[in-house]
Amino acid sequence: MSAAAPPASAFEGTSREIAFTCDEQGALTWLDARAEAVLGAAVGTRLVELAARGTEAKVERFLRERLAADDAPRPEPWEVVLRLSGQTTVLALRARRYAPGGLAVTASLVPADYAEAVGQVSGHLSEMATLHREAERQERELRRRHEELLRLQAEREESFRAVLTLHREIGEKDDSLRRAGEVKSRLVANVSHEFRTPLNSILGLTRLLLDRTDGDLTPEQETQLGFVRQSAEALYALVNDLLDLSKMEAGKVGLRVEPVSVAALFASLRGMLRPLANKPDVELVVDPGTVDATLDTDTGKIGQILRNLVANALKFTDRGEVRVSAELGTRGKEPVVRFLVKDTGVGIAPDDQPRVFEEFFQVEGHAERGPGTGLGLSLARHLAERLGGALELASTLGEGSTFTLEVPVHHPEARELDSLRERSRVLAPGNKAVLVVEDDRQTLFLYEKYLTGSGFQVVPARTLDEARAAMEHAPPAAIVLDIMLDGEASWSFLRDLKMDPRTRDIPTLVVTVTNREDHARALGADEFWLKPIEKEWLLAKLRQLARRGPVDTVLVIDDDEVSRYLLAKSLEGTTYRVLEASDGAEGVRLARELAPQVIFLDFVMPNTSAFDVLDDLKRDPVTRGIPVIIHTSKNLASDERSRLEREASAILSKQSLSREIAIARIREALDKHGLRGGEQGKENAG
């Protein structure tokens, strides 16, 4: 039996086993053909060199243990990892000593097959574990962001609360500052006022003495009196400036806006400024040039400002000229006029320029140039702002200064007030007139703003005369009276108002800057309030007072108590006040005494007919004009109806009474008589 040995490849793919031998050192001593092919090694190669890096120890251990082991019928297999053709491959080795120091080894490739499968499974598993980890991580990240958002939100809420608190604190500070400012203004105003009276006396008395009314004076006495007069005049000027300034700060400076041409303004300025020019080497030039325009502003204030500027310029100019000129320009779209006061005087250093407008600021070394109140420029700037304009300074030290007063051609408030007046002439339907006596335009606008949409309408009066004229025109539903700085006239106005039977019932709210509540109440004020006015208070008081006022009185003449009750009930909560009379005679008496705006008259009453009552009412001039609404449950005969239609304003059947109808009929009746619905019409009755 012999055959040629088959090539190793003949077993390729069918055999999973190879065989080789090695010596004590683990060097290969013989390999079968397949072992040569699979291991890719030759005789002499050490087995441990084939081991995958890191697993050499196990190969060495295998050799050591097998060389020392007893022969066993079937030795234990050892799984080792070899690196074969670049691949780590698991082989199961079984070895037996066949000679001293020699090992015969059979290696099975089967473990490589299952190791690969197991490896793949555990690879997938590890991948899943990694994915799981990643999912966890992302969830944690989401949670973290969520918490971050919550934290941010909480922080935002906190800072929001902090801002609120801050706002409240600022508000409180603001209030206390305003109060302090008001106290200061009031103090300055009062003190200045108290100063003026004795100063007037001093000035008057010195004039008398200087005029030699009481005999001649020695030259020495004349000089002394001159000093007295000079000092008194300086003091007087200071007090006046102070007073102006405090008025300005209190927003109490009224404007008298009227149209004037630039040319005319300069003509009057020339006359006014000439007496100021008293230096031989300084020429005062007041020349508008070719500028001409018609200004709509307070020329008195412009004169006051320019006088201050010119006096100032003359004081600091020793030679050369002080020139007052004008030019036209625009600020934004607004046309403006600029008045320039240019001098060739000492000039003002850049550092001092902003400060010269401060109260009582004096440039160093300028004090010896003569007396000044220290208020002139400050006042001038305030006035300029009050005119809606500005006062600026340009100056070079040693060369001179130019003050520029810029004012809008049309004073904005003038336009607004005109339109407010215009609006107040026509009372919107359902609105009540509130006469507001207040000299400050701004405050008038404020009142108008507060009362918008409230059912009240401002009739502005900036002087007491205007107020009286407005009252003559149409008595208002209420009066808001601002006690002006010159208080006495205002108090008298209030006293007269409350003494006159025609006006005493008009509710009057007194508003002041100083607490004079007792005084106001004593003179008959219905309400008192310390400035500044508050919208809520104003509206509440007006509603409360105007309702109980005499404005909308309705007289019901009806013998039936239930009818009277029903009518009163339907008008409950409206502005109408219901007076009741249970028979004709009482009705006529009440009508005479209280002059209601409308009378509801029952057609059928015991002992009296509606016609008798109508006749009585027509006979008396006080009651003649009061519209009468016949209120009846009777079906009227045609002659009755036609007569009633002639003599009464409306006929209202008792069955159809409702709140809406009652109010509508009252309005119609008032309209028919030429009175506006809901408005006072008392003069027609009288």
Binding site for another protein (CB under 8 A): 52-55, 57-58, 61-62, 65, 76, 78-79, 81, 83, 88, 90, 111, 114-115, 118-119, 121-123, 125-127, 129-130, 132-134, 136-137, 144
Cβ proximity to another protein, 126 vs 261, nearer residue: 126
The widest CA-to-CA distance across the chain, in whole angstroms, is 182
DSSP string, 222-240: HHHHHHHHHHHHHHHHHHH
Cβ proximity to another protein, 95 vs 669, nearer residue: 95
Cβ proximity to another protein, 83 vs 618, nearer residue: 83
Contact of 78 with 62, CB cutoff 8 Å:
yes
Cβ proximity to another protein, 78 vs 529, nearer residue: 78
Contact of 585 with 609, CB cutoff 8 Å:
no
Contact of 77 with 105, CB cutoff 8 Å:
no
Q: And the tokens for 86? A: 């670049």
Smallest separation, CB 57 to another protein (Å): 6
Cβ proximity to another protein, 119 vs 198, nearer residue: 119
Smallest separation, CB 140 to another protein (Å): 8
Between strands 508-512 and 478-482, the pairing is parallel
Q: Which helix (H) or strand (E) holds 628?
A: strand 628-632
Smallest separation, CB 79 to another protein (Å): 5
Question: What are the distances in angstroms from CA 522 to CA 243, 517, 591?
Answer: 29, 8, 30
DSSP string, 17-65: EEEEEEETT-BEEEE-HHHHHHH---TT-BHHHHBPTT-HHHHHHHHHH
Between strands 650-653 and 604-605, the pairing is unpaired
- The residue type found at 260 is V
Q: Counting every residue, how long is the chain?
A: 686
Residues 6+ apart with CB under 8 A from 282: 314, 317, 318, 319, 320, 321, 322
Cβ proximity to another protein, 112 vs 377, nearer residue: 112
Smallest separation, CB 127 to another protein (Å): 6
Smallest separation, CB 88 to another protein (Å): 7
Cβ proximity to another protein, 58 vs 193, nearer residue: 58
Smallest separation, CB 54 to another protein (Å): 5
Smallest separation, CB 139 to another protein (Å): 9
Smallest separation, CB 122 to another protein (Å): 5
Q: And the tokens for 42? A: 């030759």
Cβ proximity to another protein, 127 vs 174, nearer residue: 127
Q: Give the dihedral sign, CA 552/557/563/564.
A: positive
Q: Give the Cβ contact number of residue 543 at 10 Å.
A: 15
